[in-house]
Amino acid sequence: MTHVIKGQTLSFGTSHLHVKHEQKGAIVVADDGTILWSGPQPLLPHGFRQLPCDDFGSQIVMPGFVDAHIHFPQYRMLAAPGKDLLDWLTRFTFPEESRYADPAFAAAAADVFLSRLYAHGTTSALAFCSVHKTCADALFSAAAARNMALITGKTMMDRNAIPAVQDDPETGARESTELYSAWHGKGRLRYAVTPRFAVTSTEAQLKISGELLASLDGALMQTHLSESPGEIAFVKQLFPDARDYTDVYDRFGLLSNRSLFAHGIHLSERECARLSESGSGVVHCPTSNTFLGSGLMPMSHLRKISRPVAVGIATDVGGGTNYSMLATLGEAYKVQMLAGYKPTAAELFHMATQGNAERLHISHETGSIDTGKFADLVVLDPNATPVLASRQELSNSLEDVLFSLMILGDDRAIRATYVAGRKVHERVSPQA
Ligand code: GUN
Ligand code: ZN
């Protein structure tokens, strides 16, 4: 049913400098979950004034967060302490991901995973699945039932892992194509070709991945790049002829404006130039990078004006330590401070909404509060905890409030979440 959502509305345009902010805003949501109208409450057209309304007062109603890199089959394994990335993958990650061969296990996990995203204010994601087709089927099916913009793919990996999480190039290609045919374009779902990373794919598999990216119309590609020193050394050993890590993917046609590379911490000038030229995106995963000791991703280096690389931001659960994009923005702020750059809160909130939606090619349907897009929304309570409430006594600008929310906020600050206009999460009672 057509309904209205009121509150302090906030949304970004093509940059964080383009802010749409109403202290008393209203959003009219149509039957099909799209936004019919938005603007200041006094201008709400008369025809909409008698509609059912959720009024959040002075709380912030903004676009739901878009998580640009998260691992569904790692949803239980946050806080698994590895010595470094490769140790963490072998010791905890591959055994846990092997469980997703079981369709019943994967289906139950998908329900928990999506509820958890909503409880943290995330309404869209680009997610990794395990190597098993069953895992991707389960996640697509759960997201379809919720009318959610979700992009995922079956992970492909044919070496350097336990047999239970390996495929081979032909099986990987066949199953990826079957999943694309079954799910891509169905409702709000999209497919992403997903070779895990150069360590776990042979040349044959990377070649097939490039062919899939070229042939599956509209599909994205996601993988990992230049995350940890041990990983980079291993890739050098596996691909001695490549100029660098980025070149390994480039040789197989994997750089494109539909390609998203997680991490990109230790990239050279040449690598940044190639990523920029090809329109590829790099996804900053700060809680994962500090947790696994991978390094400090230098955002200002990547975005250098002469050869800017498009940068997104993500939780990278379960290497990441929090489902909350608020906490992720807070950690990004700290990592960037250590890397010599001081981002504003507006800049980071823009990245987590419209910016990520653009990176993922879903900005026509989500990422901002605009007529015709889906009403994928999160309601933030700036006074959610006593510590936040005390801090707001000192806040005297929107930037102040957003800054305090990203440094001090987490799922407690998520008052409600809407996916395609439907309330999918509501915090029951304020908690200390
Ligand atoms: N590199 C390859 N696989 C993974 C993964 O699952 N998590 C992280 N953080 N890095 C990876
Ligand atoms: Zn990852």
**69 pocket-lining for ligand 1 (C-beta < 6 Å):** no
Ligand sitting nearest the alpha carbon of 155: 1
pLDDT in tens, 1-30: 999 999 999 999 999 999 999 999 999 999
d(CA 326, ligand 1 centre) in Å: 22
Q: How deeply is 166 buried, as exposed, middle or buried, from its count of CB atoms within 10 A (0-12, 13-18, 19+)?
A: middle
CB 287 within 8 A of CB 335: no
pLDDT in tens, 271-316: 999 999 999 999 999 999 999 999 999 999 999 999 999 999 999 9
Give the nearest ligand 1 atom to 320 CA. Answer: 9
Give the nearest ligand 1 atom to 285 CA. Answer: 9
Cα first-last separation, the chain: 35
**Among all chains, which residue has been given the structure tokens 């901002």?**
368
Q: Would you state the pLDDT for residue 214?
A: 98
C-alpha separations of 166 from 92, 160, 254, 366, 369 in Å: 16, 9, 21, 34, 42
Q: How far apart are CA 159 and CA 71, in angstroms?
A: 19
Q: Count other Cβ atoms within 10 Å, centred on residue 43.
A: 11
Task: Please give the DSSP secondary-structure letter assigned to residue 273.
Answer: H
pLDDT in tens, 189-234: 999 999 999 999 999 999 999 999 999 999 999 999 999 999 999 9
d(CA 318, ligand 2 centre) in Å: 8
pLDDT in tens, 415-426: 999 999 999 999
**156 pocket-lining for ligand 1 (C-beta < 6 Å):** no
**137 pocket-lining for ligand 1 (C-beta < 6 Å):** no
Query: Atom 7 in ligand 1: which residue has the minimum CA distance?
Result: 319
**71 pocket-lining for ligand 1 (C-beta < 6 Å):** yes
**288 pocket-lining for ligand 1 (C-beta < 6 Å):** yes
Which chain residues have CB less than 5 Å from ligand 2, an ion?
Answer: 262, 316
As a whole number of Å, the CA-based R_g of the chain is 21
